[in-house]
Amino acid sequence: MNFVQPIGLPTEADLVASAEAMIPALRERAAQGDRDCRLPVETIQDFQDAGFFKILQPRRYGGYEMDPQTFYAVQMKVAEGCMSSAWVLGVVAVHNWQLALFDAQAQEDVWGDDPTTLIASSYMPKGQATPSEGGYRVSGRWGFSSGVDHCEWAFLGGQLIDPETGKPDFVTFLIPRKDFKVIPVWNTIGLGATGSHDVTVEDAYVPAYRVHRSKDGFAVTSPGLKVNDAPLFKLPFGQVFVRAVSSSSIGALQGALDLFREAGARRVSHNDASSAAQDPSTLELIAETTAAIDEMKAVLSRNFDDLMRLACAEQNADVPTRLTYRYQSAQVSGRCADLISRIFHCSGAEGIFRDRPISRIFCDINAGRTHVANNPVKVGRNFGNVMLGAPNADSFI
């Protein structure tokens, strides 16, 4: 479902074309990004100049408020050039959507002077919060804060006691750069350029209006809806975020497939001088991967067509539907990892060199698979239980 945009805003085709034009530069920068353990500043600037961070941002701060499918289409196209770049784009740009769910004052704190200001995150519930007048004193250490070197604020996870139920409630604290410290620990075999370092906070004051409760994200009752009432912001938080960390694998797999096809047309076996194009397993793998990519993109598109249709009608998707879509998102990374592993194997000895793109994509997709949101096991067990009549045990849907 692609909504008509006001005159002057780019179309989805415009944005995807901009992402496609970046692919050569993104591939060229990939190795240096891995060595530096951070995304090049040039890449972040390219994303800013192209308007990618505006796709899900409220119009009241210069954003485009576009269909989520546009955002994921751009992210997947970027991933064809560099999955680390697409991962950071996905995580950081989706925060512009989440900030729109916060109280209006929190949005003004971040974007009031500069609407291009970026936000990092780590949603691990590691924050220790003590009530203080008008807010909380927060301390803790969080891991895996992708792209944090380029961000001036951070969403950091924690738990508070829900006054209505007396049970722990997962929350996100919005904290400025002056109150957190980046600990450079990122040195990995995949997604190296994401710079997903640790973050520490020591006794920082967080006003109550800079706290977002997961139950509001689940129920679509976030305070930011008072000022951002477009259907885009009435989507369940769990549905939007999980696709930001799974969709880059689809694009990276497409990039690997393109490279594999180009190499396969030229590659000759050293053993019997036969062409890769004569190998039945290679031909079948190309067909299977092409079909799988098309299927995964089609499911993503179908799911957000449905979610946006419901949001436009002021309705929420029911729990079985949310669990279906959540599980489908969690399956993506595993499917892509299985296919890139086969492409890597079929690439022969050429694929094992560090400077070959296929080896980097192999490591990146497998690294992305380790994100908790991309593990279908826990999601699947809860999904299966619900299908057998048990109550839902996951609010992150």
Per residue in 273-301, pLDDT tens?
455 567 888 999 999 999 999 999 999 99
pLDDT at 265: 57
Q: Which amino acid is at 318?
A: D
Determine the average pLDDT of the residues in 200-229.
95
**Phi-psi region for residue 11, left (φ > 0), alpha (ψ -120 to 50) or beta?**
beta
Q: What is the pLDDT of residue 4?
A: 41
Q: Which residue has the higher pLDDT, 163 or 313?
A: 313
Residue type for position 312? C
DSSP state of 268: B
**Bridge partners, 160 (sequence order):** 169
Domains of the chain (ranges plus CATH)? 1-397 (1.20.140.10)
Average confidence score pLDDT of the chain:
93
Strand order in the sheet with 153-161: 181-183, 197-207, 135-145, 119-132, 153-161, 168-176, 211-213
* pLDDT band with cut points at 50, 70 and 90 for residue 163: confident
Q: Is the pLDDT of residue 5 over 50?
A: no
Give residue-wise pLDDT tens across range 234-276.
Answer: 999 999 999 999 999 999 999 999 999 988 756 655 455 455 5
Has residue 355 got a pLDDT over 90?
Answer: no
Calpha distance 267→265 (Å, rounded): 6
**For position 266, what pLDDT does the model report?**
63
Cα(378)–Cα(130) distance, integer angstroms: 31
What's the pLDDT band for 148 if we cut at 50, 70, 90?
very high
Band (pLDDT 50/70/90 cuts) for residue 343 is very high
Q: Using CA atoms, how far apart are residues 247 and 162, in angstroms rounded to an integer?
A: 33
> Is the per-residue pLDDT at 350 higher than 80?
no
pLDDT band at 69 (very low <50, low <70, confident <90, very high): very high
pLDDT at residue number 7: 60
pLDDT higher than threshold 90 for residue 348 = no
224, exposed or middle or buried, with CB in 10 Å at 0-12, 13-18, 19+?
buried
Give the model's pLDDT for residue 167.
Answer: 80
Flag whether pLDDT at 328 surpasses 90: yes
pLDDT at 168: 83
User: Side-chain half-sphere of 150: how many Cα atoms within 13 Å?
Assistant: 26
pLDDT of residue 2: 40
Mean predicted confidence (pLDDT) in 48-59: 98
Tens digits of per-residue pLDDT, 98-136? 999 999 999 999 999 999 999 999 999 999 999 999 999
Phi, psi (deg, nearest 5) at residue 217 = -65, -35
